[in-house]
Chains A and B, each alone.
Chain A
Amino acid sequence: MIWLSWRQQRTETLITAAIVVLLAALLIPEGLHLASLYHRDNIAHCLNNKTPACHQAIGDFGGHAGILRTLVPWFTLLPGLIGGALAAPILLDLESGTFRLAWTQSITRRRWITTRFSVAVATSLAAGALLAIIFTWYRAPLDKVYGSFDATSFDLEGTVSLGYVLFALGLALAIGVAWRRTAPAVVTAFLAYVASRLFVDGWLRQRFETPLSATWSVRERGPNLDRAWVLWSGMSDRAGHPFSGGFDVLDRCARAVGSGSKLVNPTCLARHGAGYSHAIWQPASRYWDFQGIETALFAGVGLVLLAFAAWWLRYRTA
């Protein structure tokens, strides 16, 4: 039964492998490039020395992500594609009626379901893990500077990919075993995957734990927001209410102090309701907590969906 499960998903396993290889082909050269730049410009040193030169160096370094910067957000769809692809062989088997061949040999229906699903799950998890490993390696230099918490890296590093692929696989199987038409089911599952991801990425994730917030006057240093996930930052009044005016207030409260630079009067800003800075953020220390919560969330729902699909096949299919 194990041989049969692999043989039946042979094409889709190859497609998944191709996706992983393609990702590696894109990211490995780029990753090597970034790593060498990191060493060349001694960025590590600059992380602890906030001189203007270092500021410049870090800024330049960040700009070297190149073309991948536009592609990277799309990589987060890959687990959705992989989950859908690996559900397809099982769904096609059901749609075409060939499952009746396997179900009338000598093995029980339960064993067929368990083995087919296990092989699909194993392949998905392996692919998810490989994607995470490749991406984490690629982003290592950037992570040292910016942390892993922002949207373009949180989605692809750590353990969340495992949750995403399980979720995508579960969605495709759950919808497909009830609908019995593979193509629309897989497409619908993918759209549901995208919608769920957008929801969690854009709204739910920041609420996993209550974010920290602080208000400080422009004269003070403020909290350390290095590598944190900053949800909001900007000018505010003393109570922390965001300043709604434009940057022209800076001109109004500024005084020229020779050779082109200006000095801004904090008291004047305060009178306009803008003398403070306010930030809302999730500290970097919470990174693994959040990874855990999001992984558990998607993996949990994915497992429930898989269980539903297994139950449906076992008891509802003729």
Chain B
Amino acid sequence: MSAVLETEGLGKRYGSFWALRDCSLEIAAGSVTALVGPNGAGKTTLLHLAVGLSEPSAGEVRVLGASPQSDAADVLPRIGFVAQEHPLYRGFTVAETLRLGRDLNPSWNDDAARARIEALGLPLRKKVGALSGGQRAQVALTLALAKRPELLLLDEPVASLDPLARREFLQSVMEAVAETGMTVILSSHLIADLERVCDHLVILAGGRTQLAGPIDEIMGAHRLLTGPRSEAAEVARVHDVVRQSHTERQTTLLVRANGHVYDSRWELHELDLEEIVLAYLGRDAALEREAVAS
């Protein structure tokens, strides 16, 4: 499988502040990747670099084998992007918005776009500003999908939507994936939304990649260990400890296991994805506090 998005040491700086740093990722074709992290973690920065909206301050980003900024004419027609808050021209009607798509995209499939709008029950003459949040999100998604992209990038697509609109939006995306096999990257600061639709995960915090990989593998490799406090160091020597907490005699470790955990003195528990993500975000926050304190 070839990589649809590759970054190497990618970084972006605003003044003296690095919004993204040392980011090296490979997103495989056909995968649905969740890009997760708190606000300000660098998710939007990464996505904007990937679609050529901004230029790297360090490192490289390649999309479909080309540079999104310098080869924009080649790359842009093959990728679909929905920015945060689904920007649309509020004064345009739905029909005019579709016309925008048709005018600006050579690979636009107008019939598919209209069919989709009709299936969603959206009136063509209605002004975009008069639509609900969920409907606007669907219009923005239609714009991105109708050009038949190979890669779809969505920046916090469901953040401002009610649960039903959220479900319908993700359903639309998954239907499109089933139909075309396209690659999807969606960012969110909530993992719960994305668990059922994504098969890969990238955790970003403080502008750095904390974890990246297939969700199956991640779930399989991470375990919660509870056991005697005295043995904590032993475990730490073999496995990566992501989070630890101690009582007087007992230690709880969240580890990424290197190999099997054999010791019978430790109780093993499986974890759900949200706990794993929180552990990594917590670790970054702790490191931040240490850095600030020192």
Interface residues of A (CB under 8 A from B): 1, 3-4, 7-8, 96-98, 100-109, 318
Nearest opposing residue in chain A for B140, CB measure? A101
Q: Can you name 4 extra interface pairs (CB under 8 A) apart from A100-B83, A102-B100?
A: A101-B100, A104-B51, A104-B76, A107-B76
Count, A-B residue pairs, CB within 8 A: 66
With a cutoff of 8 Å between Cβ atoms, the chain B residues found around residue A107 in the complex are 73, 76, 104
Find out whether the CB atom of A105 lies under 8 angstroms from the CB atom of B53.
no
The tally of residues in B whose CB lies under 8 Å from a CB in A reads 30
The answer to whether A102 and B104 touch (CB under 8 A), given A108-B73, A318-B48, is: yes
Nearest B residue to A99 via CB reads B87
Asked if residues B107 and A106 are in contact (CB atoms below 8 Å), the reply is: yes
Interface centre among A96, A101, A107, A108, by most chain B C-beta atoms within 10 angstroms, is: A101
Task: Provide 10 A-B residue pairs closer than 8 Å at the C-beta atoms, listed in order of the A residue.
Answer: A1-B104, A97-B83, A97-B85, A100-B83, A101-B89, A104-B52, A104-B83, A105-B76, A105-B105, A105-B147
Is A106 a contact of B89 with CB atoms below 8 Å? no
With A97-B83, A97-B87, A101-B88 as known contacts, state yes or no: A106 contacts B53, CB within 8 Å.
no
Once the chains bind, are B72 and A3 in contact (CB under 8 Å)? no
Interface set of B (CB-CB < 8 Å, partner A): 48, 51-55, 72-73, 76-77, 79, 81, 83, 85, 87-89, 92, 96, 99-101, 103-107, 140, 143, 147
Contacts of B51 in A (CB 8 A): 104
In order of increasing CB-CB distance, the 7 nearest A-B pairs are A105-B104, A318-B54, A106-B77, A104-B81, A106-B105, A98-B87, A100-B83
Closest CB of chain B to A312's CB: distance in Å?
14
Task: For A100, list chain B residues within 8 Å (CB).
Answer: 53, 81, 83, 87
- Given the known A-B contacts A3-B99, A100-B53, A318-B54, are A106 and B104 also in contact in the complex, defined by CB atoms under 8 Å? yes
B227: min CB distance to chain A, Å:
49
How far apart sit A3 and B104, CA to CA, in the bound complex (Å)? 10
Bound Cα distance from A105 to B82, whole angstroms: 10
In whole angstroms, how far apart are the Cα atoms of A98 and B105 in the complex?
Answer: 17
